Amino acid sequence: MLRVAVVGSGPSGCYTAQSLVQLDPEVCVDVLDRLPCPYGLVRYGVAPDHEKIKSLQGSLRTVLEHERVRFVGGIRVGGPGGVPVERLRELYHAVVYCVGAATDRRLGIPGEELPGCWSATEFVSWYSAHPDAADAGFLRGVRSAVVIGMGNVAVDVTRMLVRGAAELLPTDIPQAALDTLTASGVREVHMVGRRGPAQARFTTKELRELGGLPGTEVKVDPRELALDPVDPATLPAVQRRNVEVLRDWAARPPAPAGRHIGLRFFLRPVELLAQGDAGGPPGGALERGADRVGAVRFERTVPDGAGGVTGSGRFEVVPAQLVLRSVGYRGVPLDGLPFDAATGTVPNVAGRVVRDGVPSPGEYVAGWIKRGPTGVIGTNRPCAKETVLSLLADAPALARGDVPADPVATLRSAGVDPVSWNEWLSIERAEAALGAGLGRGVVKLADWEGLLGAAHPS
């Protein structure tokens, strides 16, 4: 029997476990996660109003319920109080790290530290009920928001900022986030890209959805579209369709609406201005001296003909009391594992971790920590399979290692108190009960106390 630890129960961890048990009848897999809840970003990233994608949790559940797969929640690997990487290698024949890319990229511009400027990662974690997240006062006094970035996460947070109660009520969004979002005074959201429409990274289905939001008008400036002389027919299919949708919106006459989304292009953020510097909040919604962000100063860019842009020396200031930077995620180093700071990934060859330039049998990676933070849920399936094929090629040598019959029992006797699959099911029941009490469907528990209390009822 080959005993494998998979660290991380997001899509890449689940697909790794699935490939392992499908391809080798002699493998037993423990899927460890630092959280008491499985599914990674499918639970804590995919937007609550994307219920169909959320339902992929059902197929990941089937993997974690396989007779040779065991979910072991509430165990952090590495870091203070965590199980050291070296210890894990002693407990298992092989370890596959599927820890994702937990943090955000920064803009590196003045004013980024001002209250009111947050990463999309923080905002997403809050509305997704991640137990490490809290309401940082994201929407306090906000009428105008700027979202920097043109990827699918930027589309998600833009959409969530204008969603109404009727659309959010049936989702599993935590009650506090629901109350805050539906009571918010946000009237306009500017989603801003430093390049042009043909270089935007969102997909057309997600873009189109912005155009169908109740009570919300989408505005596109035809002059900004005209800045890029690209012929859509020469573009790859997704970009071509994106440009077609944007041109269609740009040609529409203005329509009365309570909320507005402006899609802006060729604007590179150069500085965030505090409210005092930006002339104070419109309508005086915030107390003076709060020193919260009041505007973003952008430099207008021009296409360089090769997909890039250059500065024009002309500037534009966009008022905003909330700035969400949605410029990509970033992997974090795990103590004891090599890390490439330039890419935010663990160096690897076909999933085998590379130490000192040499592949290290017994240690593997899959998912965002292997490839970097791009790709949809399904992209992680072939990625995980490649890693599993490397692992199984090494298996005859690895299986000769001496490991305990039950590594989790060994961890328990060392004082680790994990959350079992049955205890996770207790959390699910508590979330259903919470929702029923509120007259809603399932409602997520949003803090450690609530989750662990539900997992281990006394």
Smallest distance, Å, CB 62 to ligand NAP? Answer: 22
Smallest distance, Å, CB 303 to ligand FAD? Answer: 28
Nearer to ligand FAD among residue 171 and residue 301 (C-beta): 171
The closest alpha carbon to 226, from 243, 238, 239, 213, belongs to: 243
Q: What is the DSSP letter of 378?
A: G
Q: Mutual orientation of helices 57-64 and 11-23 as an angle, nearest 10°?
A: 50
Helix residue ranges, H only, 301-400 = 368-371, 380-398
The item of ligand NAP, ligand FAD, none sharing an interface with residue 149, based on CB under 5 to 8 Å by kind, is ligand NAP
Smallest distance, Å, CB 330 to ligand FAD? Answer: 11
Nearer to ligand NAP among residue 193 and residue 367 (C-beta): 193
Distant-in-sequence, close-in-space partners of 125: CB < 8 Å, separation ≥ 6: 44, 132, 133
Nearer to ligand FAD among residue 72 and residue 318 (C-beta): 72
Q: Which residues bind ligand NAP (CB under 6 A)?
A: 107, 148-154, 156, 193-195, 199, 201, 206, 269, 326-329, 373-376
Smallest distance, Å, CB 142 to ligand FAD? Answer: 20
Smallest distance, Å, CB 213 to ligand NAP? Answer: 15
Nearer to ligand FAD among residue 74 and residue 303 (C-beta): 74
Distant-in-sequence, close-in-space partners of 400: CB < 8 Å, separation ≥ 6: none
Smallest distance, Å, CB 408 to ligand NAP? Answer: 32
Nearer to ligand FAD among residue 89 and residue 143 (C-beta): 89
Smallest distance, Å, CB 432 to ligand FAD? Answer: 21
Q: How far apart are CA 224 and CA 266, in angstroms?
A: 7
The item of ligand NAP, ligand FAD, none sharing an interface with residue 94, based on CB under 5 to 8 Å by kind, is none
Q: What is the DSSP letter of 241?
A: H
The closest alpha carbon to 150, from 235, 220, 101, 74, belongs to: 220
The item of ligand FAD, ligand NAP, none sharing an interface with residue 148, based on CB under 5 to 8 Å by kind, is ligand NAP
The item of ligand NAP, ligand FAD, none sharing an interface with residue 352, based on CB under 5 to 8 Å by kind, is none
The closest alpha carbon to 268, from 196, 339, 201, 208, belongs to: 196
Smallest distance, Å, CB 5 to ligand FAD? Answer: 10
The item of ligand FAD, ligand NAP, none sharing an interface with residue 41, based on CB under 5 to 8 Å by kind, is ligand FAD
The item of ligand FAD, ligand NAP, none sharing an interface with residue 35, based on CB under 5 to 8 Å by kind, is ligand FAD
Q: Whose structure tokens read 């298992």?
A: 92
Q: Whose structure tokens read 């539900």?
A: 454
> What are the backbone angles phi and psi of residue 229, rounded to the nearest 5°?
-80, 10
CA dihedral 302, 304, 305, 307 (to 10 degrees): -90
Smallest distance, Å, CB 451 to ligand FAD? Answer: 13
Q: Which residues bind ligand FAD (CB under 6 A)?
A: 7-13, 32-35, 40-41, 45-46, 50, 53, 76-78, 98-100, 102, 124, 153, 156, 329, 334, 367-368, 375-377, 379-380
Distant-in-sequence, close-in-space partners of 160: CB < 8 Å, separation ≥ 6: 47, 48, 49, 123, 127, 181
Neighbours of 170 (CB within 10 A): 12
Nearer to ligand NAP among residue 305 and residue 437 (C-beta): 305
The item of ligand NAP, ligand FAD, none sharing an interface with residue 33, based on CB under 5 to 8 Å by kind, is ligand FAD
> What are the backbone angles phi and psi of residue 127, rounded to the nearest 5°?
-75, -15
Nearer to ligand NAP among residue 158 and residue 275 (C-beta): 158
Tokens of 339: 């890390």
The item of ligand FAD, ligand NAP, none sharing an interface with residue 199, based on CB under 5 to 8 Å by kind, is ligand NAP
Q: How far apart are CA 92 and CA 107, in angstroms?
A: 40
The item of ligand FAD, ligand NAP, none sharing an interface with residue 456, based on CB under 5 to 8 Å by kind, is none
Smallest distance, Å, CB 72 to ligand FAD? Answer: 10
Neighbours of 414 (CB within 10 A): 9
Nearer to ligand FAD among residue 138 and residue 298 (C-beta): 138
Nearer to ligand FAD among residue 50 and residue 440 (C-beta): 50
> What are the backbone angles phi and psi of residue 440, rounded to the nearest 5°?
-125, 180
The item of ligand FAD, ligand NAP, none sharing an interface with residue 10, based on CB under 5 to 8 Å by kind, is ligand FAD
Tokens of 347: 């160096």
Q: What is the DSSP letter of 420?
A: P
Nearer to ligand NAP among residue 204 and residue 420 (C-beta): 204
End-to-end Cα, the chain, rounded Å = 36
Q: Which residue is nearest to ligand NAP (CB)?
A: 151
Neighbours of 30 (CB within 10 A): 24
The item of ligand FAD, ligand NAP, none sharing an interface with residue 327, based on CB under 5 to 8 Å by kind, is ligand NAP
Q: Whose structure tokens read 């001496």?
A: 402
Tokens of 119: 């990463």
Smallest distance, Å, CB 8 to ligand FAD? Answer: 3
